[in-house]
């Protein structure tokens, strides 16, 4: 299934646009979405385990199942320097 | 209050004399007096916040000077909080400024923030931000998170039980990033400025923007509207 993912921050630069389409299988999780994103944009590899992922405008666990029509966003991890 | 001092700010229609008078009665607590905290303190005192407490146990290091405000090379080795108190008082003697040279802990945070109208994040620690988040939720005190890394900053105001809390957006991040955090010198001032705007909006009862992500190198500015997580272990329904 093809899902549309909104991307924020430097991920927008990686993609050259603010939304991308990713091909994932039915029953896949948000972790699979992250993996698919990193596969296409390897520059995001270092964020792989910390990426901020939302599903339908809500922060979601990487184990959450993705369904057709879900609004998925990917953004860089929360930063902590001061 | 000397209104003439704020004449140009009072002309701003979103703000006005009413906004100015409101700020003069407000009390904010800034936790951390480094890149973010020194810059935000500098802005707040000039804008006319009535009472500002700045809490930081650290001393000024030569490596702080590229991204901080108000410190000079002669201040290296001195208390960040006490130097800020001195400089902020000189900028605006009408403001009540208190530099507190202490380390924030789970045991003492309540005593420092319980009278705050807003807590302002100037820390560089994820665990301390979780502590601020917990006390904010417990005592219903809004706070404004901000963080910086390389050329990217993030800001999010938290209105307890109304907007997502820090835990809602940070479940996957580790307690701290090992080693020194790289930060472009211009970044904290920019991010602190946005953080101040969100704080002022909280103080005036205006709606918050959401999670703001700004890359100052690429000039890429995003606002994410995230909902509260009903299963959040801190702000979700128990």
Among B226, B233, B235, B236, most A C-beta atoms within 10 A, so best to mutate, is B226
pLDDT one digit per residue (tens) for chain B, 238 residues: 899 999 999 999 999 999 999 999 999 999 999 999 999 999 999 999 999 999 999 999 999 999 999 999 999 999 999 999 999 999 999 999 999 999 999 999 999 999 999 999 999 999 999 999 999 999 999 999 999 988 999 999 999 999 999 998 886 565 666 678 899 999 999 999 999 999 999 999 999 999 999 999 988 899 988 899 888 899 987 5
User: Which chain B residue has the Cα nearest residue A17?
Assistant: B220
Q: How many domains does chain B have?
A: 1
Torsion of CA B32, B36, B38, B40, to 10 degrees: -110
Exposure string for A46-66, b = 16+ CB within 10 A, e = fewer: ebeebbbbbbeebbbebebeb
Q: Is residue B233, in this structure, part of any structural domain at all?
A: no
Q: With an 8 Å Cβ cutoff, are A9 and B125 in contact?
A: no
Question: What is the ipTM, given to two decimal places?
Answer: 0.80
CATH number, residue B14: 3.40.50.720
Torsion of CA B68, B135, B46, B21, to 10 degrees: 170
Q: With an 8 Å Cβ cutoff, are A81 and B35 in contact?
A: yes
Q: Is residue B101, in this structure, part of any structural domain at all?
A: yes
Task: Give me the CATH topology for the region A2-75.
Answer: Ubiquitin-like (UB roll) (3.10.20)
* Domain span including residue B51: 3-224
A79 confidence band (pLDDT: 50, 70, 90): confident
**A18-72, pLDDT tens digit by residue?**
999 998 999 999 999 999 999 999 999 988 888 889 999 888 888 999 998 899 9
Contacts of A82 in chain B (CB under 8 A): 32, 34-37, 121-125, 146-148, 188
* Distance (Å) from the alpha carbon of B107 to chain A's nearest alpha carbon: 22
Contacts of B226 in chain A (CB under 8 A): 54, 57-59
**Element at B104 (helix H, strand E):** none
Q: With an 8 Å Cβ cutoff, are B171 and A77 in contact?
A: no
Residue B27 contacts A where some CB pair is shorter than 8 Å? no
* Distance (Å) from the alpha carbon of A77 to chain B's nearest alpha carbon: 7
**Whole-number Å distance between alpha carbons of B154 and B194:** 9
* Among A8, A50, A79, beta carbon nearest to B172: A50
Domain positions in chain A: 2-75
């Amino acid at each position: 299934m093809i899902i549309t993912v909104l991307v924020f921050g430097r991920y927008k630069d990686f993609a050259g646009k603010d939304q991308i389409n990713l091909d994932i299988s039915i029953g896949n999780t948000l972790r699979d979405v992250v993996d698919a994103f990193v596969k296409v944009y390897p520059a995001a590899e270092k964020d792989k385990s910390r990426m901020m992922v939302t599903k339908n405008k809500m922060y979601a666990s990487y184990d959450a199942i993705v369904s057709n029509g879900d609004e998925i966003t990917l953004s860089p991890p929360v930063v902590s320097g001061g | 209050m000397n209104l003439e001092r704020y004449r140009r700010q009072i002309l701003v229609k979103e703000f006005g004399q009413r906004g100015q008078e409101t700020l003069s009665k407000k009390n904010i607590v800034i936790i951390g007096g480094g890149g973010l905290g020194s810059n935000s303190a500098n802005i707040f005192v000039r804008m006319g916040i009535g009472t500002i407490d700045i809490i930081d146990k650290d001393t000024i290091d030569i490596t702080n000077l590229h991204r901080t405000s108000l410190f000079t090379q002669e201040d290296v080795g001195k208390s960040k909080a006490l130097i800020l108190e001195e400089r902020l008082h000189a900028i605006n003697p009408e403001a009540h400024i208190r530099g507190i040279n202490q380390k924030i802990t789970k045991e003492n945070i309540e005593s420092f923030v319980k009278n705050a109208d807003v807590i302002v994040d100037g820390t560089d620690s994820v665990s301390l931000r979780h502590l601020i988040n917990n006390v904010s939720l417990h005592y219903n005190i809004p706070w404004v998170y901000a963080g910086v890394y390389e050329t990217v900053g993030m800001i999010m105001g938290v209105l307890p039980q109304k907007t997502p809390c820090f835990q809602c957006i940070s479940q996957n991040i580790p307690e701290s990033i090992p080693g020194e955090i790289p930060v472009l010198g211009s970044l904290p001032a920019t991010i602190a400025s946005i953080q101040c705007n969100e704080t002022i909006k909280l103080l005036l009862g205006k709606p918050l923007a959401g999670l703001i992500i700004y890359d100052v190198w690429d000039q890429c500015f995003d606002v994410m509207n995230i909902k509260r997580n009903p299963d959040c272990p801190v702000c979700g329904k128990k």
